[in-house]
Structure 1
Amino acid sequence: MAEAVEYLDSQMQKEELNTTFMEWKYKSITYHQPFVVNNFFSDINALIKKHFSPHIVAEIHKQMCESVLYKCEKLSLEDANNFDNDQMDQKDELGSDQEEVNNIEDHYDYRQTYLKALLNSVSGKSIKEIWRITPYMIPSSYQHIVTFEDGTHMCTCLLLVSHGIICRHYFKLVVENSNALFHLLLMPTRWLQDDAWNHVDTIFNEPFIGTSSKKLK
C-alpha cells in the first residue's frame, strides 16, 4: 500500500511539473508572438482572423510561434521506407525516471504514430514530399510530415487529427518549403465562425497561402 501511495505521489509531482513547464513555455513564447506572427505568417494571420474565432486564432498563434524552434530535413521516399528508428518505445529515449523529469520537453513532442504506419495508410502515388522536423534543442526528438499532391498533409504528431489545429511542425515547413501551403479548409469546418455558411463560396475560393521565399517546384 505504501508503495502505491509513493508511486501516485511521484506521478502527481511529475504532472504538476509538466503543467508548470507548459505554462512557462507558452508565456515565454507569447512574449515573442507579435514578431513571429507578423513577420512569418502575416497573410495567414489575416485570413484566420477573418474566418475563425479568437480562441482558435490564439491556438493557431501558439503553433506558429513554436515553429521557430524546429528545423526541417527532406527525405526521399526510399529513405522514409527504410527508416526504422521511430519503431522503438519513445520512453526508452529518456532513460531513468530522473532524466524523464528533467526532459519534459521530450514528452511534449511524442510521436503519435510511426512514419511507416502513416506511409502504409496512403497511396504512394499521392505522396508529394516527406520531411523530418526536429527541435533545435533536442535532436533526438522528431516528427515526420508527409505532404500530398492534393495540398493536404499528415504529421506524426497527429495534432490536426486529435485537436483540429495545424501543428507547429507544419508551420515550420510552410516557412521553409514553398510547396507547403496553408488553406482554411485544411482545418475542420467546425472552427469557422457561426456565419461562415452564409458566405461559404468565399471560403472555398480563398487561395492557398505560402510564406517561403524559396522557388516553387
Structure 2
Amino acid sequence: MIFTIDIQTTSRYESVNATFKNLLQNSNNTLVDIFFTIEERLEEEQDNTDYLNWQNSLTTIQSSTIASNAFTDVINELKDFTTPSIQKIHNNEMELAFSYDARPLDQSYINNEDSHDLLFANDFIEKQEVRQLSFQQLLLSCDQKEIKSLWGVSYLTSSDTHYLVILLDNGMYKCSCISLINRGTVCRHYFCVMLRTSQAQFHIGFLNPRWFVETSPDLRSRPFCPASKFKMDLVVPYLESNNPPNFLHSINENILNRNNLYVTLSKQKLY
C-alpha cells in the first residue's frame, strides 16, 4: 500500500511509505503504534537534514587547503599506505577538526569519583554525533599511570565538553567517540587536539590494517607525525624496532564488545 495520491514524491515521503508498508504487514500494530513510529522516523530524518545543512555551512569543508597545510605529513602517510576512500575520510576529518576546540583538562579530573561525567546537549548535532563511550569507561580501558594528558573537545559554538581525548605515554590516544576502534580510523577530535599540542601526533599504525593498500606493511620505521606547525620544533620519534605497533588491540576487552569492532563503512554513521 503506497500513498502518493498522484503527486511526485520525494525520498522523504518514499521513506515514509516504506515505513507504512512494514508496519501494515504486522497485524499486531495499532494505529497509535503506526502514528508514533512514523512521527519518530520523520524527526530522525529532520535531524539528519539539519545536521547535513550544519556540516555544509562549515567554512572548513569548503576548502581542503587549510587541512592540507596543517597536516601535510599526515596526508602524505595516508597516500603512501591507504586506499583513496580512506584518504578521503581522513581528509574530511582533518577539515572538520577546525570546527572544534580542544582544551587541556586537569589531571585531578581523573581522581574525582563523581567524575563530572560529560554532559551533552540534546540537539540535532548530538543526535548525529553520538558519544559511544562514557568517561569512566574510557578511563577503565587504559592504565591511568600511562596517561600523559586529558583533553576536552567541544564544538566552536558551544562551551560544553562533548568528547574526551586521552593522550598516552606510548604515543597512542583514546577518544570517547571510539572511531579508532569501531572504524579503525582517526577521528576529527584527535586531529583537533593535534592542532593544540605537539604531544598529540599521528601514526599510520593507528589505522586498522584492512585499510592499507599492502598486506602487513612494516610500520616500525614510520615516524609519528605532528601537525605541521609543530614540526620544526620537534625531533620526530619513531617506533622502537623491538616494539611493533599494537595500537588496535589496546582497548580492554572487558570494556568493549569486540565481536563487532569493524563494520562495513557503508553501514557506519560517519560522524
Q: Normalised by the shorter chain, which TM-score bucket?
A: 0.7 to 0.9
TM-aligned CA deviation for residue 123 of structure 1: 1.5
> Residue 148 of structure 1 corresponds to which residue in structure 2?
168
> Residue 115 of structure 2 corresponds to which residue in structure 1?
84
| Paired AA for residue 64 in structure 1 | M
**Cα pair 1:33 1:61 within 8 Å, conserved:** no
> Residue 97 of structure 1 corresponds to which residue in structure 2?
none
CA change 1:33–1:164 in 2 (3 A) is: farther
Normalized against structure 1, the TM-score is what? 0.82
1:162 is aligned to 2:191: no
Equivalent residues in 2 for 1:8-47 (5 A)? 8-28=37-57, 31-47=61-77
Equivalent residues in 2 for 1:29-178 (5 A)? 31-82=61-112, 84-86=115-117, 90=120, 93-94=121-122, 103-178=123-198
**Cα pair 2:149 2:168 within 8 Å, conserved:** yes
Unaligned runs of 5+ in 2: 1-29, 235-271
**Cα pair 1:177 1:212 within 8 Å, conserved:** no
Measure the CA separation in 2 of the matches of 1:49 and 1:25: 29
TM-aligned CA deviation for residue 127 of structure 1: 0.9
CA change 1:87–1:126 in 2 (3 A) is: same
> Residue 205 of structure 1 corresponds to which residue in structure 2?
221
Q: Deviations over 1:114-161 (max 9, x none)?
A: 212221232121111111011111333511011111111100111111
**Cα pair 1:53 1:192 within 8 Å, conserved:** yes
Measure the CA separation in 2 of the matches of 1:81 and 1:11: 40
**Cα pair 2:154 2:163 within 8 Å, conserved:** yes
Q: Structure 2 residue aligned with 1:189, among 173, 193, 209?
A: 209
**Cα pair 1:51 1:196 within 8 Å, conserved:** no
TM-aligned CA deviation for residue 37 of structure 1: 2.1
Which 4+ residue blocks in structure 1 deviate beyond 4 angstroms?
A: 25-31
| Higher normalized helix content (fraction of residues) | 1
Q: Deviations over 1:64-109 (max 9, x none)?
A: 1111111111112212332633366x5xx43xxxxxxxx2112233
CA change 1:172–1:87 in 2 (3 A) is: closer
Secondary structure at the aligned position of 1:46 is classed as helix
Secondary structure at the aligned position of 1:116 is classed as helix
| Paired AA for residue 220 in structure 2 | F
Normalized against structure 2, the TM-score is what? 0.67
Q: Deviations over 1:39-72 (max 9, x none)?
A: 2112211110121101111111111111111111
| Paired AA for residue 171 in structure 1 | F
Secondary structure at the aligned position of 1:105 is classed as helix
Secondary structure at the aligned position of 1:9 is classed as helix
Question: RMSD of the alignment, in Å?
Answer: 2.4
Structure with larger RCO (C-alpha < 8 A, sep 6+):
1
Q: Deviations over 1:179-198 (max 9, x none)?
A: 000010011111100x344x
**Cα pair 1:130 1:147 within 8 Å, conserved:** yes
